[in-house]
Chains A and B, each alone.
Chain A
Amino acid sequence: MSKFAWVTLTTNDTYSLGALVLAHSLKRAKTAHQLAVLVTPNVSQAMRDRLNEVYNVVQEVNVLDSQDAANLALLSRPELGVTFTKLHSWRLVQFEKCVFLDADTLVLQNCDELFEREELSAAPDVSWPDCFNSGVFVFKPSVDTFAQITEFAVKNGSFDGGDQGLLNQFFADWSTADIKKHLPFVYNVTAYASYCYLPAFKQFRDKIKILHFAGKLKPWLIQFNSETKVASVSSEYAHAQDLIQLWWNIFCENVIQSLSTEMAGLAGALSQLRIGQQRTPEQEAYENQMRRQCWESGQIDYSGADSFENIWKKISQTLERKTEKESEETGSS
């Protein structure tokens, strides 16, 4: 068995969809190494079982577990609680070296060469290239390092309130010390248009190894037509349409079958979808619910399904249906 592992983290069932697709994308890229996932207590048992099928290790992280000295210290800084979950990766000491991947990343090509790098190797962040983006990084699990980072966190906090700020402070010499620790950008390409250098994206797209859906629009929140299996991508992601489609293809082929209604959030809703078949009224109802969820999370397909023209059609339907009902009533009385 390999002593190396890919590590990811999921905090709820919806995010776990990303983790599942990520695992399958790694397998498609024929990685030789193990997979590990950290889960928080919010992740349902049903989802953990599914994760267990693809990940070699499913490790629960309980932030409030006071058995632990480091945790006790952290209790004094509750705002760091969530940030802290990612740090638990360092406790996976059964592995010699690991690569952390956010659950909203997608591996496009085999990247096993990453394990030749040292701690801490990462790719620069697009908006501040002197900081690394903490969505993809190589590290060496060690209880000592974990204790040091924790202590550092309690003392200094994080300048952006998140894990990226904390890790950049801790590994402060990343930008200057050793160029080998700078991963090429193709290992962590942010796909969101406003962060993206579009001509370069087109030029080098075949070289992209890992795509990172940073930003609030996650692939699982994108409108997806279960009948045609096509994801309708909004303008922010137009350049990456085929990659988003790839995410959904993996989802359709490897993930959806294993979802169940016991799961919470979007995962539960998606489990009802029957891919590539004529839509049943049930399914329509679920898609309807998904669309509403998209509105409520602020992702509105205003140039497509949700255009005002369609809204007005819907309103007119409502008005007509009522008039019909009314005329029936008056007719019968």
Chain B
Amino acid sequence: MRRQQSYRFEDNESTSYALRMNRRFSRVESGADLKDYFDRGDIASRENRWNFEVAWEVANKVGGIYTVIRSKAYVSTEEMGEQLCMMGPYKEHCARTEMEEMEFPRGNPLLDAVNSLRSRGYKIHTGRWLVDGNPQLILFDIGSAAWKLDQFKSEMWEKCHIGIPHLDIETNDAIILGFMIAEFLEEFRNFAVTYSQNNELSAPRIVAHFHEWQAGVGLIVLRTRLVEIATVFTTHATLLGRYLCAGNTDFYNNLDKFAVDEEAGKRQIYHRYCLERGATHLAHVFTTVSDITGYEAEHLLKRKPDIITPNGLNVKKFSAIHEFQNLHAVAKEKINEFVRGHFYGHIDFDLDKTLYFFIAGRYEFGNKGADIFIEALARLNAMLKHEKPDTTVVAFLIFPTKTNNFNVDSLRGHAVIKQLRDTINNVQQAVGKRMFDTCLQGNIPNADDLLQKDDLVKIKRCMFAMQRDSMPPVTTHNVADDWNDPVLSSIRRCHLFNSRHDRVKMVFHPEFLTSTNPLFGIDYEEFVRGCHLGVFPSYYEPWGYTPAECTVMGIPSVTTNLSGFGCFMEEHISDPKSYGIYIVDRRYIGLENSVQQLSSFMMEFSRLNRRQRIIQRNRTERLSDLLDWRTLGIYYRQARVKALQAVYPDYVDELSLYGSKNNLIFSRPHSEPPSPTSSRHTTPAPSVHGSDDEDSVDEETELKELGIK
């Protein structure tokens, strides 16, 4: 899919396609694209510029950083080609499947540097990462340098007065990796200089980008050894921030008051914190993933980020513009099927007038905002009962936690529904056969003869099985420690027990979604597509891939101004709500007000009719361009350029001379009267109206139809 697409962009024909796409998206400046720099490293090699990207999670899936780097690999290689090299630890189980081992070509300073390190006894694997773009990859075997750990730690102590506790294996590993990488880069620089002199090239310019504190060790070593290499350091969240938020502190209101050294010390992460803060201050350019994390870093690490480098996605585009709408319908039917089984005996609501809301993520009850979600659902329930009793909302909470397998009642529901369906199918066949036979004999079939008593008995038996005294369960599994589980306790407190009168029904699914699940066999992506609204009212969310994923699938979502994603959308779209991005304020107003706001957003959404929702999904999907790495990769580029200029003051970024300044701003949709955007940096450029057939739905009437205030 991806490959085909890249061809499409290179094709001549595709230019018109791309142009058309661009016009559809009310993009302000087309110069904001990283695509303008896609030369597979041509210019970089002419400038003798080398780029390295270092992270613990390169070809090593641990958490979210892996996704960031992996999805970015494609645009990075398109931009820098063979001048780019990613580096990380060699973890056999991952590397085996993700890496194609090969040696660098002879005469390449990379090979010389690798060989020089190998002669020191280090084991180094080189090759390509088997992801889109196939970037060059160097993985360092940590075990092979473990014998030098004490030497490394001594150096760290002598130069920085940072010691590493013996018991913290992860940090000790990070030290080994950091030193190996620093030694590699040092060697590489020496070889590159000689190589450039021999080949009469200009002096090499090297920039290394480090992600997170583990890789930050490498940055500290490079800088304290005073190697002339430009460095960029990115934190995706601060260590201390994570710990403080996990402890239910009133985080943002006290951010400027924390005694950071002491807080880190008390939590026994002081050494890690020192490494993170050291790397932050030693880097030539420091970046974070969002404004909100920037704010956090400013207070906890005491440095304001120079550039914000938001996380992007690899956006899959369909050749048919509205394909995602069809996918929504298909996936929704699967969810309907589940709901029929789960709520058997209680399906007195119309599935066509049922909305599916969901929240998903790691099970951090407060940080992910599940607390205010449930509270707001209780209020939505009251509002719906009063105002729109024919609409039902089913809220899914997907948070993996410890369970003792499936709930028997939910399994039974699915069996009962299946039995009914099978019985009806049998009866249907029998009736058809009788009808055929009757007609064959030349008689007009009589309704009474067709459905026989016997059939009715079978159907009745099924219906009898469908009756139940209990209410449909609020969870699909038996949750371990059910009484203390935060989600279940909140549901109990809010009395959301799925009774007949409740307009909001709860389904807590304490397991990841997979298509092999016998109860709810659907994978996460399909599930998201089938839902109507994603609700992510997070309190602590440095970036927020979940709402971003929703957006590129054309599913509207609720986010907050404390999540990186929410901040980003707020900054780049004049009126996020009209694009199906509802942003709850959790920063400047009280908790009660946030809950009210969230419930009113959900109510607002519930008031939309089907057509309005379709229009809204169209608009949401249009934002996917904004979240594509092709667009967002530009910030990474800016960070690198800035770092290069700090180390090599004579460095001029050729392209930026005629490239334009990058301020992406999405205006309101065409059909909306322009909002007063004069206070923003740019005014939306006028776009061509009515030129796209697919967009007929986006005409002036849309606003009225959509009824969004």
Chain B residues lying within 8 Å of A311, measured Cβ to Cβ, are 160-162, 274, 278
Chain A residues lying within 8 Å of B224, measured Cβ to Cβ, are 315, 318-319, 322
Contact of B163 with A308 in the complex, beta carbons under 8 Å: no
The answer to whether A295 and B162 touch (CB under 8 A), given A315-B224, A326-B226, is: yes
B265 beta carbon closer than 8 Å to chain A: yes
A297 beta carbon closer than 8 Å to chain B: yes
Contact of A322 with B163 in the complex, beta carbons under 8 Å: no
Mask, B266-291, CB within 8 Å of A = 1, is 00101101100110011000000000
User: Which of B268, B271, B273 gathers the greatest number of chain A CB atoms within 10 Å?
Assistant: B271
Other-chain contact of A308, B166, B220, B223, B274 (Cβ < 8 Å): B274
A296 beta carbon closer than 8 Å to chain B: yes
Contact of B265 with A318 in the complex, beta carbons under 8 Å: no
Contact of A318 with B159 in the complex, beta carbons under 8 Å: yes
Mask, B143-155, CB within 8 Å of A = 1, is 0000000000100
Contact of B163 with A314 in the complex, beta carbons under 8 Å: no
B262 beta carbon closer than 8 Å to chain A: yes
B165 beta carbon closer than 8 Å to chain A: yes
Chain A residues lying within 8 Å of B278, measured Cβ to Cβ, are 311-312, 315
Contact of A302 with B165 in the complex, beta carbons under 8 Å: no
Contact of B264 with A302 in the complex, beta carbons under 8 Å: yes
Chain B residues lying within 8 Å of A319, measured Cβ to Cβ, are 223-224, 226
The answer to whether A323 and B166 touch (CB under 8 A), given A292-B157, A310-B161, A311-B161, is: no
Contact of B282 with A297 in the complex, beta carbons under 8 Å: no
Assembled-state Cα–Cα distance A300/B271 (Å): 9
B457 beta carbon closer than 8 Å to chain A: no
Chain B residues lying within 8 Å of A298, measured Cβ to Cβ, are 165, 167, 268
Chain A nearest CB from B516 CB (Å) reads 42
Contact of A296 with B165 in the complex, beta carbons under 8 Å: yes
Contact of A295 with B282 in the complex, beta carbons under 8 Å: no
Chain A residues lying within 8 Å of B167, measured Cβ to Cβ, are 298
Whose C-beta in chain A lies nearest to the C-beta of B275?
Answer: A311
Chain B nearest CB from A313 CB (Å) reads 9
Contact of B163 with A292 in the complex, beta carbons under 8 Å: yes
Chain B nearest CB from A296 CB (Å) reads 5
Chain B nearest CB from A12 CB (Å) reads 15
A291 beta carbon closer than 8 Å to chain B: yes
Contact of B223 with A314 in the complex, beta carbons under 8 Å: no
Whose C-beta in chain A lies nearest to the C-beta of B154?
Answer: A292
The answer to whether A302 and B270 touch (CB under 8 A), given A308-B261, A308-B277, is: yes
Contact of B261 with A322 in the complex, beta carbons under 8 Å: no
B255 beta carbon closer than 8 Å to chain A: no
Chain A residues lying within 8 Å of B117, measured Cβ to Cβ, are none
Chain B nearest CB from A329 CB (Å) reads 12
Contact of A296 with B162 in the complex, beta carbons under 8 Å: no
B260 beta carbon closer than 8 Å to chain A: yes
Interface of A is mostly: helix
A306 beta carbon closer than 8 Å to chain B: yes
Whose C-beta in chain B lies nearest to the C-beta of A316?
Answer: B281
Whose C-beta in chain B lies nearest to the C-beta of A236?
Answer: B266
User: Which of A300, A310, A322 gathers the greatest number of chain B CB atoms within 10 Å?
Assistant: A300
Whose C-beta in chain A lies nearest to the C-beta of B223?
Answer: A319
Chain A residues lying within 8 Å of B164, measured Cβ to Cβ, are 295-296
Assembled-state Cα–Cα distance A296/B166 (Å): 5
Chain A residues lying within 8 Å of B226, measured Cβ to Cβ, are 319, 322-323, 326
Chain A residues lying within 8 Å of B160, measured Cβ to Cβ, are 311, 314-315, 318
User: Which of B157, B163, B262, B268 gathers the greatest number of chain A CB atoms within 10 Å?
Assistant: B163
Assembled-state Cα–Cα distance A6/B440 (Å): 111
Assembled-state Cα–Cα distance A322/B224 (Å): 8
The answer to whether A295 and B163 touch (CB under 8 A), given A312-B281, A319-B224, A326-B226, is: yes
Chain A nearest CB from B388 CB (Å) reads 55
The answer to whether A315 and B282 touch (CB under 8 A), given A300-B265, A303-B262, A308-B277, is: yes
A225 beta carbon closer than 8 Å to chain B: no
Chain B nearest CB from A274 CB (Å) reads 23
Chain B residues lying within 8 Å of A292, measured Cβ to Cβ, are 157, 163
Whose C-beta in chain B lies nearest to the C-beta of A303?
Answer: B262
Assembled-state Cα–Cα distance A288/B162 (Å): 11
Chain A residues lying within 8 Å of B153, measured Cβ to Cβ, are 296
Assembled-state Cα–Cα distance A312/B303 (Å): 13
Other-chain contact of B161, A302, A303, A314, A326 (Cβ < 8 Å): A314
Assembled-state Cα–Cα distance A296/B163 (Å): 6
A241 beta carbon closer than 8 Å to chain B: no
A307 beta carbon closer than 8 Å to chain B: yes
Chain A residues lying within 8 Å of B282, measured Cβ to Cβ, are 315
Chain A residues lying within 8 Å of B265, measured Cβ to Cβ, are 300, 302-303
Chain A residues lying within 8 Å of B225, measured Cβ to Cβ, are 322
Chain A residues lying within 8 Å of B281, measured Cβ to Cβ, are 312, 315
Whose C-beta in chain A lies nearest to the C-beta of B224?
Answer: A318
Chain A nearest CB from B281 CB (Å) reads 7
Chain B nearest CB from A326 CB (Å) reads 7
The answer to whether A302 and B262 touch (CB under 8 A), given A297-B166, A308-B277, is: yes
Assembled-state Cα–Cα distance A251/B260 (Å): 34
Whose C-beta in chain A lies nearest to the C-beta of B265?
Answer: A302
Assembled-state Cα–Cα distance A66/B265 (Å): 46
Assembled-state Cα–Cα distance A124/B345 (Å): 60
Chain B residues lying within 8 Å of A291, measured Cβ to Cβ, are 161, 163
Whose C-beta in chain B lies nearest to the C-beta of A289?
Answer: B157
Chain B residues lying within 8 Å of A323, measured Cβ to Cβ, are 226
Chain B residues lying within 8 Å of A310, measured Cβ to Cβ, are 161
Assembled-state Cα–Cα distance A291/B158 (Å): 11
Q: Which of B156-196 contact A (CB under 8 A)?
A: 157, 159-167
Assembled-state Cα–Cα distance A265/B410 (Å): 62
The answer to whether A314 and B261 touch (CB under 8 A), given A296-B164, A322-B226, is: no
Q: Which of B219-244 contact A (CB under 8 A)?
A: 220, 223-226
Chain A nearest CB from B260 CB (Å) reads 7
Assembled-state Cα–Cα distance A295/B260 (Å): 18
Assembled-state Cα–Cα distance A310/B282 (Å): 15
Chain B residues lying within 8 Å of A315, measured Cβ to Cβ, are 159-161, 220, 224, 278, 281-282
Contact of B159 with A295 in the complex, beta carbons under 8 Å: no
User: Which of B153, B161, B264, B265 gathers the greatest number of chain A CB atoms within 10 Å?
Assistant: B161
Q: Which of B574-602 contact A (CB under 8 A)?
A: none
Chain A residues lying within 8 Å of B159, measured Cβ to Cβ, are 314-315, 318
Assembled-state Cα–Cα distance A292/B262 (Å): 19
Other-chain contact of A307, B163, B223, B261, B268 (Cβ < 8 Å): B261
User: Which of B159, B273, B277 gathers the greatest number of chain A CB atoms within 10 Å?
Assistant: B159
Chain B residues lying within 8 Å of A296, measured Cβ to Cβ, are 153, 163-166
User: Which of A292, A308, A311, A318 gathers the greatest number of chain B CB atoms within 10 Å?
Assistant: A308
Assembled-state Cα–Cα distance A311/B271 (Å): 11
Assembled-state Cα–Cα distance A297/B164 (Å): 8
Q: Which of A92-112 contact B (CB under 8 A)?
A: none
Assembled-state Cα–Cα distance A315/B281 (Å): 10
Chain B residues lying within 8 Å of A288, measured Cβ to Cβ, are 157
Chain B nearest CB from A235 CB (Å) reads 8
User: Which of A296, A307, A323 gathers the greatest number of chain B CB atoms within 10 Å?
Assistant: A296
Assembled-state Cα–Cα distance A203/B480 (Å): 45
22 contacts between A and B (CB under 8 A): A288-B157, A291-B161, A291-B163, A292-B163, A295-B162, A296-B153, A296-B164, A298-B268, A300-B265, A302-B265, A303-B262, A307-B261, A310-B161, A311-B161, A312-B278, A315-B160, A315-B161, A315-B220, A315-B224, A315-B278, A322-B225, A323-B226
Return the 7 tightest CB-CB contacts between A and B, nearest first: A295-B163, A302-B265, A314-B161, A322-B226, A298-B165, A318-B159, A292-B163
A interface, CB within 8 angstroms of B: 288, 291-292, 294-298, 300, 302-303, 306-308, 310-312, 314-315, 318-319, 322-323, 326
B interface, CB within 8 angstroms of A: 153, 157, 159-167, 220, 223-226, 260-262, 264-265, 268, 270-271, 273-274, 277-278, 281-282
A311-B161, A315-B281, A323-B226 given; 13 more Cβ-contact pairs under 8 Å: A292-B157, A292-B163, A296-B153, A297-B165, A302-B270, A303-B262, A306-B161, A308-B273, A308-B277, A314-B161, A315-B160, A322-B224, A326-B226
